[in-house]
Amino acid sequence: MQINVQVEKSSAVLRKLTVKVPASEVAIRFNQGLAEVQRTAKIKGFRPGHVPMAVVKQYYGEDVRHQVFHNIIDDSFREAVRKENIRAVGRPKIETPNHKTGTGEHDHTIAEDQDLTYTATVEVLPEIEVKNYKGLSATRLPVEVTDKDITTVVNGLLDAQSELVVAGEGPVKKGDHADLNFAGGLVTDSGIEEKPGMKGSRVIEIGSDTLIPGFEEQVEGMKKGETKTFRIAFPKDYFDKDYASKEAEFTVTVNEIKQKKLPDLNDEFAKTMGYENVADMRKKAEEHLTREKTQESDRKVRSDLLAALIEKNNFDCPESLIRAQTNALAQDAVENLKRQGFSEQMINDALQTEFEGLKKRAETQVRASLLLEAVAKKENLSVTADTREAEYKKMAEQMRVDEAQIRDFYAGNAQRAEDLEYRLKEEVAVRFLMDSAKIK
């Protein structure tokens, strides 16, 4: 496409492009649009495909102008940023003499015998001259696995295979599992306002602090078949603002009292869990904990280095990138809360409370990513075939699939392969920072 482009640098991360598309190009696009419509147009009195162009223009001219306007804007903007080597991010704000995008002031349209001139204001990736990135300070957590740590893992395996058995008439004590029916509401001046979310049946472990503070203490000491009514207050920092600090009244009935019965820890149990014996179970637990603690230690070093890198390199950051990353983090949070059974209202309240924290995390992640890209470029770092193969192997082991499946997954999708390459280049840059860092 033949266009004329002028670029104005509004800020370090903002460019204003004035794009002019000649009338000849507009006319060609408009006539092509009419020709496409003509091939399929159905107008009474004419055979499909044989409607005169003048009639097509009369019936469909405005629709074609509208569509051609969008197509020309999209195509010419892509050509403009390519021609000027602009690394645009986010959607541009398009303005024409008769229209500003998003305002609804005028129709999106063109005059097929006139030049189309518009401005596109768009954010761009900043040009970062990264500095002070060698010799950064970080603290590495010690990787120590104790017998107590190993025993905790083994006890977790026993607990996962435990069963609840009826424990008699009571009274309920800490460690017991109480099968409850409960119904409650908020205390108001006019009485108890019942709430659907405060009614149901549950089996809870007394002393686990699963429910709001004070609830389990009230159940403690009750016997099977006993019903009790009591009042407690929701915490001030309760995530649902409609309940925070408010007093509630609950009526609870104990249906059954159960206790957890653990299997015996012996070689037979170890074999049912896929180990040779108890000694092998403890050995595998130690190896697992060592890997976890090593990864945690590496994450601490990485976090320290990136925080130091950001502190030493201030630059303007595109808001569109921060918004996109904030949305991604928010979506992850929503999916996590849904898996935990939170209602839509509870999720919305939680997001409102946590939004600023999510935005801050998002900005840190975006800044770190841009700085790592700048380090990789300055040091001419690249992803080697060995690095890529090591990542394929690691993913295959984690997902318990054949390496060939991982390779096929990325080979079949260019965008996935590009995303993986970008992530691996970041890791190469992090490793470079680690190699030159001062780590305590």
Average of per-residue pLDDT across 370-389: 94
**pLDDT digits over 256-299, tens only?**
999 989 999 999 999 999 999 999 999 999 999 999 999 999 99
Note the maximum CA span of the chain: 92
Q: Which residues contact 56 (CB under 8 A, 6 or more apart)?
A: 34, 37, 38, 41
> 200-214, 314-328, 378-392: which has the minimum mean pLDDT?
200-214
11/56 Cα distance (integer angstroms): 46
Three-state secondary-structure class, residue 2 = coil
- Whether residue 438 has pLDDT greater than 60: yes
Does residue 5 come out as left (phi exceeding 0), alpha (psi in the -120 to 50 range) or beta? beta
Mean pLDDT of the chain: 90
Give CA–CA dist 150/154, Å, rounded.
6
pLDDT at 391: 93
Closest to 174 measured CA to CA, from 207, 203, 202: 207
At the top level of CATH, the class of 274-439 is mainly alpha
Q: Which residue ranges does the chain devote to CATH 3.10.50.40? A: 163-261
Calculate mean pLDDT across residues 334-358. 87
Strand partners, 325: none
Among residues 274, 250, 108, 104, which one has the least CA distance to residue 182? 250
Q: Look up the CATH number of domain 163-261.
A: 3.10.50.40
SS3 label, residue 211:
coil
Q: What is the per-residue pLDDT for 76?
A: 95
Supply the Cα-derived Rg of the chain in whole angstroms.
32
pLDDT in tens, 212-222: 899 999 999 99
Distance (Å, whole) CA 119 – CA 215: 62
The least confident of 25-29, 166-170, 228-232, 326-330 is 166-170
pTM above 0.85, yes or no: no
Whether the per-residue pLDDT at 108 is higher than 70: the answer is no
Which band of pLDDT confidence, cut at 50, 70 and 90, is reported for residue 383? very high
Asked if 85 and 124 count as a contact pair (C-beta separation under 8 A), the reply is: no
Q: Does the pLDDT at position 107 exceed 90?
A: no
The pLDDT of residue 42: 86
Task: Kindly tell me if the per-residue pLDDT of 106 is higher than 70.
Answer: no
In angstroms, rounded to a whole number, what is the distance separating the alpha carbons of residues 370 and 349?
Answer: 32
pLDDT confidence of residue 303: 93
The pLDDT of 393-398, averaged and rounded, is 91
Residue among 236, 234, 202, 235 at smallest CA distance from 219: 202
Q: Measured on CA atoms in the order 292, 293, 297, 303, is the torsion positive or negative?
A: positive
Predicted pLDDT of residue 84 = 94
According to the model, what pLDDT value does residue 283 have? 95
| Residue 307 binned pLDDT confidence (cut-offs 50, 70, 90) | very high
Residue 294 one-letter amino acid: T
Q: Which of 141, 249, 240 is nearest to 192 (CA)?
A: 249
Q: How many residues does the chain have?
A: 440
Residue range(s) occupied by CATH 1.10.3120.10 in the chain = 274-439
- The predicted structure's pLDDT at residue 357: 93
**pLDDT digit string (tens) for 111-161?**
888 899 999 999 999 999 999 999 999 989 889 999 999 999 999 999 999
Find the mean pLDDT for residues 333-356: 86
Average pLDDT over residues 320-327: 94
pLDDT(103) > 70: no
Range list for CATH 3.30.70.1050 in the chain: 4-124
- The CATH fold of domain 4-124: Alpha-Beta Plaits (3.30.70)
